[in-house]
Amino acid sequence: MKPPAPLATPRAPDSEKITINLGFVDLGQIDLLVAEGFYGNRSDFIRTAIRNQLASHADAVKQAVARKTLVLGLQHFSAADLRAVQAAGQKLQIRVLGLASIAADVTPELALAAIDAIDVLGALQASPEVKAALGARAAARR
């Protein structure tokens, strides 16, 4: 008899789902390109269009990242990280372009004690309670 397979550890998603509204003519043109085999599906077309736009603005993005002193990519904060900041009598100014994640065992109280401000361009992964607690410290968007 085989031993049971180990439980898979939950993995953070490597993408974020977005929703957009398109006009019927634009959507029809996308569907035509998909039907003609240029793209596998609508999502492939949209991802390609987004990547092309990001590539055309790459210099502007690099300059803005440097000017705003943003961390580019993924930045994770564990409870131990935040306790160390708190013990040092300091507070974090989190500025991320990409994904900022705060560990599931971080309490709202610890987050408030260790994080002075948070500005995430991309996605923030944290418990709903921590997100709510940091809401007033987050940079306004839109």
Exposed/middle/buried for residue 72 (C-beta within 10 Å: 0-12, 13-18, 19+): middle
Q: Which of 6-10, 12-16, 128-132 has the lowest mean pLDDT?
A: 6-10
Q: pLDDT higher for 125 or 4?
A: 125
Q: How much is the pLDDT for 124?
A: 94
Q: How much is the pLDDT for 140?
A: 59
Given a cut of 80, is residue 13 above it in pLDDT?
no
Q: How much is the pLDDT for 142?
A: 43
Query: Global pTM?
Result: 0.66
Q: What mean pLDDT do residues 103-122 have? A: 95
- Cα(130)–Cα(138) distance, rounded to whole angstroms? 12
DSSP code of 137?
G
Given a cut of 90, is residue 14 above it in pLDDT?
no
- Cα(117)–Cα(67) distance, rounded to whole angstroms? 17
Q: How much is the pLDDT for 64?
A: 84
Question: Which residues does residue 75 pair with via DSSP β-bridges, in sequence order?
Answer: 100
DSSP code of 136?
G
Please check whether residue 127 is in contact with residue 101, taking contact to mean a CB–CB distance below 8 angstroms. no
Is residue 97 very low, low, confident or very high in pLDDT (cuts 50, 70, 90)? very high
Residue type, 36: E
Q: Which of 76-80, 113-117, 136-140 has the lowest mean pLDDT?
A: 136-140
